[in-house]
Amino acid sequence: MTAPVETVAYGPHPSQVVDFHRPPGAPARTRVTLLHGGFWREAYDRRHLEPLARALAARGLEVALAEYRRVGGGGGWPETFDDVLQALDTGHGPAARHVVAGHSAGGHLALWAAASPRARIARIDHVVAVAPVADLARARALGLSSGAVGELVDRAQEAGADPMRLPPPRMPVTLLHGTVDEDVPVDFSRAYARAARAAGAAVHLAVLDGAGHYEPITPGTPECALLTAALTGAPPA
C-alpha cells in the first residue's frame, strides 16, 4: 500500500485534511479532487477511496483525496459544506485542469459545489459524479440509508444543499450510475440530468448496465475504466 505523498490540513479539526497522491515524474496536468461517500456519516471516511486514488495517480493524475467533517463528528449544515469548499481550494499546484469527482454522498457534494454561488467556479473545470445523491428531497422521501438526509440537513436548510434546487452548474458534468445500484437508484441521475439540461447545463449521463454502487470506484473493473476515462478528459460511452 502506497501512502499519500503529502497530507495538508485546511483547518484545526482532525477531519479537515487532504491527502495528495501524485504521479512519478513530471507534474500532473490534471488535479482530481476526490470526495468520498458514506451518506455523510462519521463512520465512513476517505480511506475506502485510497485504492482508487493510487490507481488514478498511476495514470498520471494528481489526486487530492479530501476528508471533511461528517454527521456525528462535527459535520452537518453548514460545516460539511464549508469543508468541501475549503478542500477544493487546498494545496493547488501547477495542474492546469481541476476536476471535482465524488461518489454517492460525495457525488452530491461535488454537484453542490459546482452549483453553489459560494464556490470559486473558475477553479472547477469539470465535475464527475458517480452514483450521486443528486436529489435530497427525493432521498428524504424515500428514507435512503435510514434517513441520512434528515441527519445532514433539516427541511429549512435543504433547499440550499440540494443540487436539484440550485442553479445549473456552469461547467460540464459527467454522471456515471449503475442500473442495479441498491444504495442510490439510477433514476436520481436520470432526473438530475433531465433537469440540468433543461436549465442549460452540459450534462453527460453514462448509465452502466448491470453495475451496482461500488464497481465504478473499484480499480480493475470495466466501470472504473470508464470513470478514469471521464477524469482524464474522454467522455464515457
- Does 177 fall in a domain? yes
- Among 192, 214, 212, 216, residue whose Cα is nearest residue 204: 192
Radius of gyration of the chain (CA): 16
Which tens digits make up the pLDDT trace of 15-27? 999 999 999 887 8
The neighbouring-strand residues paired with 176 are: 130, 206
Give the three-class secondary structure for 234.
Answer: coil
Q: Cα–chain-centroid distance for residue 136?
A: 15
> Whose grid coordinates read 428514507?
143
- Does 122 fall in a domain? yes
- Does 237 fall in a domain? no
User: Hey, CA dihedral for 102, 103, 106, 112, is it positive or negative?
Assistant: positive
Environment class of 156 (CB within 10 Å of its CB; exposed 0-12, middle 13-18, buried 19+)? exposed
Euclidean distance between CA atoms 24 and 81, whole angstroms: 32
User: Which pLDDT value is given to residue 80?
Assistant: 98
Return the amino acid letter for 157. Q
Which tens digits make up the pLDDT trace of 60-85? 999 999 999 999 999 999 999 999 99
Environment class of 45 (CB within 10 Å of its CB; exposed 0-12, middle 13-18, buried 19+)? middle
Q: Which domain holds residue 170?
A: 6-232
Euclidean distance between CA atoms 220 and 228, whole angstroms: 11
Low-confidence ranges of the chain (pLDDT < 50): 1
User: Which pLDDT value is given to residue 26?
Assistant: 76
- Among 135, 148, 134, residue whose Cα is nearest residue 75: 148
What CATH number does residue 77 fall under? 3.40.50.1820
Euclidean distance between CA atoms 106 and 130, whole angstroms: 8
What is the number of structural domains in the chain? 1
User: Which pLDDT value is given to residue 1?
Assistant: 40
CB 18 within 8 A of CB 72: no
- Does 76 fall in a domain? yes
- Does 38 fall in a domain? yes
- Does 1 fall in a domain? no
The neighbouring-strand residues paired with 41 are: 71
CB 163 within 8 A of CB 191: no
User: Which pLDDT value is given to residue 164?
Assistant: 97
